[in-house]
Structure formats: C-alpha cells, structure tokens
Structure 1
Amino acid sequence: MITFIDSCGGMMFNHRRQSQDRTALQRIVDMTASSTLWMNEYSTKLFSGFFAPQVQVDAQFLDKAGPGDFCFVENLDVSAYLPFIEKFVLFYWNRAYPSDMKFSIRLDNGKWMCTQHEDFAGSSHEKITMEVYER
C-alpha cells in the first residue's frame, strides 16, 4: 500500500487529496515499474502525465490486488485488508492539515518494521519523507 499523509496521519483534508507532488509520484511510478499499481478512479488523474503502463484502475482494486502488487490509496480506509498487506510505503512532510480522513493503521505496534527511511526535495514541499514498513 502506498499513500500520502501529513504529520498527523491525515490522508485527506476538506475531502481533497493531501498531495499532487510530481517528484513523489515519479518515485511511485519508478518503484512499481515491474509490478502492477492498482488504484481507484479518484487517483487516476494523478498519474495521467506519466508513462505508467503498470497502472490498473478498478473500483474494487483492493480486492483484485495480488501478492507483489502495489495499491495507491488516497481516500479509503484499508484496515479490513491489513492481513493481506505486505508493506506500507508512506510519503509525508512536516505539515498538518485539518484532515477529515486519517491513516488508521498503527505501524509502531511491533508488528511492522521500518526498512527504509529517505528524505528528498519534492516539487511541492521542500522536504518529503518516504518510509517503507514491512512485517
């Protein structure tokens, strides 16, 4: 699962997406190039300017994703899919927005381990952090 969150775990604010950072989106395209990247219709327009033949769009994308596939999630709670999630890739920055949807998964409970932490300059934020958590 791949998502953008703010410093308080917000995924959406005022029913809008957290980010449209092109640098982070390019990283997602590169990271998923040899896999399938599933998403719903809401997220499709984010990737329209990229060469990303791995993108698959379906309203039931969380049900269709298989082992090794990636799911880009902006506007859904994925807690029901937790037993099937192999890793989380989170992109975040040091801003808090008045979010109306939060990332609900606890990654600090001893079941998940941060295997990668990287800071980089984005196109919309001076510093974006990418963290990868695996079981």
Structure 2
Amino acid sequence: MIIIAAVDDRNGMMFNHRRQSQDKVLREKILSLTAGKLLWMDHYSAKQFDGCTAPQLNIDDRFMWEAAPGEYCFVEDTSVAHFEKWAEQIILFKWNRKYPGDFCFDIDVQKPEWKLSHTEDFAGSSHEKITMEVYDHA
C-alpha cells in the first residue's frame, strides 16, 4: 500500500477531532496521482471528496485492512504505525506551517527503512506553498 497524508511541521494531522486544514488543489493532486489505481479512505476523509465522481475512490472505515499492494490509502484520522510493514511508499503533503495538533502521523520517515526519493512544491488554493515528499521503503 501507498500511504498519503497531509501534515504540518510537527506531523500533526488533526486537532480536536477535526482536520487541521484542507485544500482544493491538494485534493486534485491526490486524484491525479492516484488515477488508474484504487484510493482508499474512511467516511470522514470521503467528505472532502463529496461531489467527486473519480472512479478510484473506495470508502470503507477499515480501509487500511482492505488496501492491496500498489493501492493508495489517504489518512487523516487513522493511526498508520501498525501498517508500516505493508507500506511500499509514503507520500506526505506538508502544509509548511505549525498548527495546533493532537493527532499525528505516527510513522517516522527519518528511520533508515525510509528513503526520500522525490520532493515537489506547488501552490494550493489555501496555502501558497505545499510540499510533497515521497518516501520509498528501503
């Protein structure tokens, strides 16, 4: 599986049971990146894609258990540490800001098991700079 998450500078994803931020351009980037593959997410994250008719969307609250190799999982409110051994790649979209956070992305991509293979900056609709970092399992 390929894990996708949006994080702040402290790896925060949520605060008080709400996503820290969202961005229309980021959603479009995720849909473009996952075109032709399955994109799994839970019902909470699916709300961001309301009205979207992308065929790759698969919504299931046990999505991390359902994803097969090569399929994408978009996480916002799910602990992923348990699934690290099945992750082939991690794609982090960084807000380049520090938000209040009480739920964080819980895989340490600085460990030797992960290698940064690609970075890309782009302008979002709500953030002037979003950084995409792609980590491959070493």
* 2:120 pairs with one of 118, 124, 130: 118
Q: Secondary structure at the match of 1:27?
A: helix
1-structure distance, mates of 2:108, 2:135: 11
- What residue number does 2:14 align with? 12
Which segments of 5 or more consecutive residues in structure 2 lack a partner in the other structure?
none
* 2:107 pairs with one of 86, 105, 108: 105
- What residue number does 2:64 align with? 62
* Residue 107 of structure 1, CA deviation: 0.8
1-structure distance, mates of 2:91, 2:48: 17
- What residue number does 2:131 align with? 129
- What residue number does 2:81 align with? 79
Superposed CA RMSD in Å reads 1.0
> TM-score, normalised to structure 2's length?
0.94
Number of aligned pairs? Answer: 135
2-structure distance, mates of 1:13, 1:130: 21
Counterpart of 2:33, as a letter, is: M
Q: Secondary structure at the match of 1:88?
A: strand
1-structure distance, mates of 2:13, 2:89: 17
> TM-score, normalised to structure 1's length?
0.96
1-structure distance, mates of 2:39, 2:20: 19
Q: Secondary structure at the match of 2:102?
A: strand
Q: Secondary structure at the match of 1:72?
A: strand
* Residue 49 of structure 1, CA deviation: 3.6
Question: Over residues 75-126 of structure 1, what are the superposed CA-to-partner deviations in whole Å (9 max), with x where a residue is unaligned?
Answer: 0111011110111111112211110101111111111111110111100101
Mapped contact 1:26–1:50 kept (Cα < 8 A): no
Mapped contact 1:10–1:102 kept (Cα < 8 A): yes
2-structure distance, mates of 1:70, 1:97: 26
* Residue 50 of structure 1, CA deviation: 3.0
Which segments of 5 or more consecutive residues in structure 1 lack a partner in the other structure?
none
* Residue 20 of structure 1, CA deviation: 1.6
